[in-house]
């Protein structure tokens, strides 16, 4: 089972946030409750991309890699796994739709 997650969140205006965590459910809830300064300011509440790995070093390296990308490349990454940009927190974390993407590396 993966221990670390790289994830992307967005808001109504399409601003993107990339993060890494060892507890995805907790971290997404923190974003949704506005407990993170950046995500509170920009109201980052929608989880649109998840990558999982058991290697903390790989997770941190991947987060840094994605953060260095142009927006267009991040959008392409999200769209490749989640074409409709569904809120994965509503489905994946709540386990209501196991067919939604979770990229495991």
- List per-residue pLDDT tens for the chain, 105 residues long: 679 999 999 999 999 999 999 999 889 988 888 887 887 788 888 999 999 999 999 999 999 999 999 999 999 999 999 999 999 988 766 554 445 455 544
In this prediction, residue 104 carries a pLDDT of 47
Q: Are 37 and 74 in contact (CB under 8 A)?
A: no
**CA angle 87–88–94, rounded 5-degree value:** 115
At the second CATH level, the architecture of 4-104 is 3-Layer(aba) Sandwich (3.40)
For the chain, state the CA radius of gyration. Answer: 13
- 3: tokens are 């221990």
Alpha carbon 31 to chain centroid, angstroms = 11
Please state, in angstroms and rounded to a whole number, the distance separating the CA atoms of residues 13 and 43.
Answer: 10
Please state, in angstroms and rounded to a whole number, the distance separating the CA atoms of residues 33 and 15.
Answer: 17
Please state, in angstroms and rounded to a whole number, the distance separating the CA atoms of residues 57 and 26.
Answer: 20
In this prediction, residue 91 carries a pLDDT of 72
The helix (run of H) or strand (run of E) holding residue 66 is helix 56-67
In this prediction, residue 36 carries a pLDDT of 78
């Amino acid at each position: 089972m993966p221990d670390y997650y790289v994830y992307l969140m967005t808001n109504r205006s399409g601003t993107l946030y990339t993060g890494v965590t060892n507890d995805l459910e907790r971290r997404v809830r923190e974003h949704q409750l506005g407990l993170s300064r950046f995500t509170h300011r920009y109201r980052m509440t929608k989880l649109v991309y998840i990558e999982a790995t058991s290697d903390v070093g790989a997770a941190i390296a991947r987060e840094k890699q994605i953060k260095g990308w142009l927006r267009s490349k991040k959008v392409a990454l999200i769209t490749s796994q989640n074409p409709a940009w569904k809120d994965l927190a509503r489905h994946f974390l709540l386990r209501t739709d196991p067919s939604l993407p979770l990229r495991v590396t």
